[in-house]
A and B are shown apart, each in its own frame.
Chain A
Amino acid sequence: MTNALEIRGLTKVYGSGFEALKGIDLHVAQGDFFALLGPNGAGKSTTLGIVCSLVTKTSGKVSVFGYDIDTHLSDAKLHLGVVPQEFNFNQFEKVFDIVTIQAGYYGIPLKKAAVSAEKYLKKLGLWDKRNTPARMLSGGMKRRLMIARALVHEPKLLILDEPTAGVDIELRRSMWSFLEEMNRQGTTIILTTHYLEEAEALCRNIAIIDHGRIVRNTSKRELLQQLSLETFLLDTETALENAPQLDGFSCRLDAEGVLEVDVHKGQALNEVFMQLEHKGIKVVSMRTKANRLEELFIRMVEQNAPGAEAIAEGTA
């Protein structure tokens, strides 16, 4: 089956001489929910910008559902819906007009566009605001408006560049449900995000980009299996003065007196509780210290940082 997105040897050198992409290879299968992760300036937005025609590539090949953007750009664009990082609609236009005008650019007549606009504005909770100028909307509403606009022509591939940035938790969760539903209905989704919890919750496959190179491209499951250590935070019934000694586990108290326990892959968490119970320590609640994917991400990016090898070898 043709991939939803295929990128080969993609490079981008900006006019200033900055090499943003250094030969990226990437493929996203149809129906996938894919995350492109990386620190600021890693090349995520440049990559997606090239796919969406907002950035011109220096070299390499990009195809969307088999349509090469060099030779069949119009066909490629028909399959794409884009939700950019920053608000990029006319702030003076009304919500309904913004969505129907976008449909018009895709050659959809107004009547049909109005039906589609109504469908997505209702799904995203913006129908009541349809006659409101965009500048009057809240930040969360503006983000949802960009999603409605990107979907109005029913694209098969939806690209979201940090779609939930600056959105409150409740709204973020509802946007996740919406995107999951879109994905279940067959829309391939690619997102970049700084909320790694978001990628962990939504995506099946993940690529990590850093310094213009893909440092990892695999399934989320495989990525998480590499995690050899997880740290758990345990709230005890009574405050501890010192961290207890647990056989086979490293533990310590954090600044607030919460017990931190490192559990290696293959170790049973039950063992921690048994040893604590034996020492008369009662645990009342437990949580993981950090997002698992976040830990891996930081580790990979640090390994990829210039000079990391030298630092590891103690020569820098």
Chain B
Amino acid sequence: MTDLPAQKADLKSILSTPARVDNSEGMSYLQSVPRRIVTLYIPLSIIVIILLFPFYWMGLTAIKPDDQLLDLDRYNPFWTWNPTFKHIHKLLFESYYPHWLWNTMYVAIGATVLSIIASVLAAYAIVRLRYKGANVVGGLIFLAYLVPPSILFIPLATVVFQYGLFDSPLALILTYPTILIPFSTWLLMGYFKTIPFELEECALIDGASRWQILIKIVLPLAIPGLISAFIFCFTLCWNEFIYALTFLQSTPNKTVPVAIVNEFVDGDIYRWGSLMAGALCGSLPLVILYAFFVEHYVSAMTGAVKE
């Protein structure tokens, strides 16, 4: 129990420096190669293949011609020799898909920026201003993280209706922060705690106001944390479904996840190609973002959990 805080502090540094993992090298000579194949490589590859197969299938379906899609006897379903961009073309030029992508992007960026601003202020106040009751407020914000959208969407629908925000992207921009603020506040609190207090004391002696300290000293030092919070919030927004499904009505206003489920699912037996193309194009922006910021994602996930 006593060494628990030290562990927590270690977590991030270990994640960001994979070099330390090599310490375990000393033990691996105890295992023979065949044993490692059976106990490690085979189970690992099975799990990874299962985890990645749906994406392969999604991508393959998106570029398969219709006749091959449904004729499983004459063509090997696991591969195609004549890929087509028909489905993606149809998606981008004959549907509202670019609109939906734009809506999703707009809502995600709007909600993320609002939440990050609010959480930076809140996290700084809780960690560094230490006003009366700061710890209680911190705990309440954590509790807010545990309130799931599935409980809130019915009353929120009436609230959104009352404020006249129904069927407007603004409804989502204002409601998503309730999911994002608790998460990013806790994440940023962790980052702010690692910034030396002495820096702020120096600035205070030099006559800086709290606002100047936050903008000129704390924020530049917390940039990795801000990036983590930003991309994670962005992903959560892009992923969000139930609010978008409930609050948006008209087809051009929808976000990608809702639109694909509602607009592309019709009785057409050939719908699969465009459905999977839509799912693929909706996932790619996030996957690309993820590829650039893997370490930030991991630290965001573990950062929120370790608190």
Q: Does B associate with A?
A: no
Chain A residues in the interface with B (C-beta under 8 A): none
